[in-house]
Amino acid sequence: SFDSKFIYQQRGLGPIEEDTILVIDPNNAAVLQSSGKNLFYLPHGLSIDKDGNYWVTDVALHQVFKLNANNKEAPLLILGKSMQPGSDQNHFCQPTDVAVDPDTGAIYVSDGYCNSRIVQFSPSGKFITQWGEESTKSNPKPGQFSVPHSLALVPHLGQLCVADRENGRIQCFKTDTKEFVREIKHASFGRNVFAISYIPGLLFAVNGKPYFEDQEPVQGFVMNFSNGEIIDVFKPVRKHFDMPHDITASEDGTVYVGDAHSNTVWKFTSTEKMEHRSVKKAGIEVQEIKESEAVVETKMENKPASSELQKMQEKQKLIKEPGSGVPVILITTLLVIPILNINLREVREEFWEDLEGSGGLNLGNFFASRKGYSRKGFDRLSTEGSDQEKDDDGSESEEEYSAPLPVPAPSS
């Protein structure tokens, strides 16, 4: 879908004519709001600033968009030049993610699949600085990247962490000086770290599928941010991750993972204080789940947590009562990538189906029913086979729940 100069080759299809951003209630599985039609070609990363604005990257357009969540008119801000890849102050090359500092308003863009840098802009979109370079094939140095794929701000420490995807590590930098702070890397990550998310005291991550000779499974990780140690790992019980492409954690400790190959969004909830569950040495047993709860069974390998971290988690009240969740913002292209984030906004309307059993929102029917798009966005975006082809043998027997189509708005 891209030529040797990273120019998108399916421009003639036009932008996606359907809404690509869905606001979803995590408790009753209702689609509350949708937007983003006729704007994107291959939307990739989604984040939300403290004012509730959406920030979306498009790897085909090589642009970053700032959108008002309540206004479907023109974007508030556009960074980059449409369909023009580049590496100067005014261009991107397949940007992957955005993080906006809640205190300063500074905009950070990971750029991306064909650049190896982090770019900073002022709140108004003025270029400030950039850092990073392409890494060597072996023993990459601090500040070198091979597909900077996901960003996580740590505002109270003044740090920005980057999922250095193809180097299988997380790098953290000071936001004021851009000085390298540390690297977080574990053998259990395998070769890739696709995405990261931060809440006070905790860093979450998902890795990629193992290569043929590798043994590390694809799974999610919970880390103590202060020392980088892995506290827990998690993955679906009866199913499996195929290619988790993004992760986000809400302040109540709920974790969402978007799987790009299975068109599924997984929801994982902490269980330390949840009723109707008993924790065993080998994992978590689901005894009973109320109808109002939308919970994914998680296979946990518990590791000892420090008393300091346990106190921090208790202070944060990681578990909310059913019905008190916040909406999930989900971005979809009509072919592959579900990316999501959390928006602390009120619930407005209702739609979606209750999640039980697998706890996954399967968007396959939603995608299949749309206008017949066939957009191939990641054949040239992959690096050394990291965006693996899906091997679907149709043998899965676990029940899934598909999102019904949004009711069309009446024409005026």
What is residue 236's DSSP assignment? B
* Residue 245, marked binder: yes
66-70, 133-137, 230-234, 295-299: least confidently modelled range: 295-299
Q: Which of 239, 264, 257 is nearest to 365 (CA)?
A: 264
Q: What distance lies between CA 383 and its chain's CA centroid?
A: 19
Cα gap 155→45, rounded to integer Å = 20
Q: Is the pLDDT of residue 26 over 90?
A: no
Q: For all residues of the chain together, what is the average pLDDT?
A: 76
Q: What is the widest separation between alpha-carbon atoms in the chain?
A: 60
| Of residues 138 and 36, more confidently modeled | 36
SS (H, E, C) 312-361: HHHHHCCCCCCCCCCCEEEEECCCCCEEEEECCCCCCCCCCCCCCCCCEE
* Residue 46, marked binder: yes
Cα gap 164→48, rounded to integer Å = 21
* Residue 113, marked binder: yes
* Residue 277, marked binder: no
* Residue 165, marked binder: yes
In percent, how much of the chain has pLDDT > 90? 57
CB 170 within 8 A of CB 162: yes
Contacts of 81 (CB under 8 A, 6+ apart): 62, 63, 90, 91
pLDDT of residue 399: 27
Instruction: Name beta bridge partners: 296.
Output: 268
CB 99 within 8 A of CB 118: no
Q: Is the pLDDT of residue 199 over 80?
A: yes
* Residue 169, marked binder: no
Cα Rg, the chain, nearest whole Å: 20
Fold of 11-402: Neuraminidase (2.120.10)
Instruction: Quickly state the pLDDT bin for 383 (edges 50, 70, 90).
Output: very low
Q: Is the pLDDT of residue 87 over 80?
A: yes
Cα gap 316→308, rounded to integer Å = 13
Q: Which of 287, 292, 267 is nearest to 277 (CA)?
A: 287
Q: What letters, b where the CB count within 10 A reaches 16 and e where it falls short, cover 111-125? A: bbbbbbbbbbbeeee
Q: Quickly list DSSP for 52-82.
A: --EEEEETTTTEEEEE-TT--SS-SEEES-T
